[in-house]
Chain A
Amino acid sequence: MTSSGDYFDPYEKTNRKIHAFNIALDRAAFRPASKGYVTVVPDPMVESFSNFADNLSMPKNMVNALLQGNPKLFGQALARFLMNTTIGFAGLADPATEFGLPPAQTDFGETLYVWGAREGAYVELPILGPSTERDAAGTLVDFFLNPIGYARNNPADNITAYAEIVQRMGDRGKFADTIDSILYESEDSYAQARVIYLQNRRFELVGAGSETYADPYDDTFPDDTYEDPYAE
């Protein structure tokens, strides 16, 4: 599975239009803003804001861990949240990692996977980028799942959304060369984003260690084993 770049993309025509929109948006606004952000703001602060966003996502992770029937992950997310919110200055620092707590990121897309939902078609979402039908549904649910972001009369209205935008700008700026190479130097950036997203997402969900590694020698060395001329 993890080695598979297979995709199901019946909406490719629409997806490519959204991709073109996302590229235009990145070129005009997100890329320059992000590069400016990481140039002007010192690295430790960029890191702090990223930690802050991670910490705000912990309640969502806790809810999903419960829904997945994963008490261990729930405990890790809870411990992280308590530790980083208190001695981590409201999440700006990350003492939990210093103390060796493993990362505790999950989402409703993963919950759907655990529940047995199928991946569905590949979709590219406006602004948010590559996804699948299952993950797109997950993203929507996560938005409402986060108790902090959704609380009524919350004095810090929308703070989760703002924090995530700032975090994404940090990532976009920090890894600018890599992202630029996918979006602007690739022959077909839509196909590159698709193959990289799907492999990475399947790796996150299923993990590595699949027995289905593509074997380039099957083709190159036909006398290695009995060949099945009908296999390809």
Chain B
Amino acid sequence: MPSNSFTRRSFTATALSALGLAMLPAPVLALSEAGARKLVDTVVAEINRVIASGKSEAAMIRDFEGIFAHYADVPTIARYALGVDARRASNAQLGAFTKVFQGYISKKYGKRFREFIGGKIEVKTARPIKAGYEIRTTAYLSGEAPFEVIFLVSDKSGRDRFFNMFIEGVSLLQTERTEIGAMLDRRKGNIDQLIADLAKVG
């Protein structure tokens, strides 16, 4: 049941999280706001090309997974989603989890590709934060009031990639940590079971 604050904007916004995730190009860190805007436009065009390709949904989700894997710091996002349980996970478990997590995110959000048709994202401001840079953008979707999307970018993984995004204040990291945490609780903390089940989601 929708609440007062689940506004129409935030619904679409949530729907688009992963699309937005894919929109931040790698070399933003060392760049000016103008450079970032240009690069974001490039990636938006890339996404639009995938949409316009007329491929099947499964093929588009595969393309999207490639974009997500390239531009996002997936290991860090996955580790954060796992929460404190990441500390007791073996390296093998972490690696396997990261892999299925990447597929899970791509499927979950890639299904919403069509909501992005005709949309655009404009970079507004860029400013340094502790871990790297905060890039504020405005998303314009057809038939929707514009809404704010924030990307956080860092080079701490070795190259410039984004590690979080906020759509109308809703953080991908927090939301997925909640979801993965709930999955883990329901499996009594069994990480291997979580990995097996997450691979089947979507």
Residues of A within 8 A of B (CB): 2-5, 22-23, 25-26, 30, 43, 47, 50, 97, 103, 107, 109, 125, 127-131, 135, 139, 168, 171-172, 174-175, 177-179, 181-182, 186-188, 191-192, 194-197, 199-204, 208-209, 211, 213-217, 219-221, 224, 232
Q: How many chain B residues touch A (Cβ–Cβ < 8 Å)?
A: 52
Q: Are B79 and A187 in contact (CB under 8 A)?
A: no
* Residues of chain A contacted by B84 (CB below 8 angstroms): 232
Using a Cβ cutoff of 8 Å, how many contacts connect chains A and B?
164
Closest to B182 in A: A188
Bound form: Cα–Cα A22–B76 in Å = 35
Q: Which residues in B have their C-beta under 8 angstroms from that of A50? A: 8
Once bound together, how far apart are the Cα atoms of A183 and B168, in whole Å?
Answer: 19
- 7 shortest interchain CB distances as A-B pairs: A203-B169, A188-B182, A129-B3, A5-B174, A175-B11, A216-B80, A178-B15
- Classify the secondary structure of A's interface with B: helix
Residue of B nearest to A3 (CB): B171
Q: Contact: B6 with A195, CB < 8 Å?
A: no
Q: How far is the CB of B42 from chain A (nearest CB, A)?
A: 25
Contact (A200, B8) CB under 8 Å given A5-B177, A213-B131, A216-B76: no
Question: What does the 1/0 interface line of B143-169 toward A look like (CB < 8 Å)?
Answer: 101001010101010000001101011
B10 touches A (CB below 8 Å): yes
**In the complex, A232→B83 CA distance in Å?**
11
Chain A residues with Cβ below 8 Å from B145 are 97, 103
The answer, yes or no, to whether B14 is at the interface (CB within 8 Å) is: yes
CA distance A182 to B152 in the complex (A): 24
Q: A178-B12, A187-B182 are in contact. Are A5 and B171 (CB under 8 A)?
A: yes
Alpha-carbon distance A94/B136, docked complex (angstroms): 28
Which residues from 1 to 32 on chain B have a C-beta closer than 8 Å to any C-beta of chain A? 1-8, 10-12, 14-15
**Given A191-B178, A217-B131, also A127-B1 (CB < 8 A):** yes
- Residue pair A181, B108 in contact (C-beta under 8 Å): yes
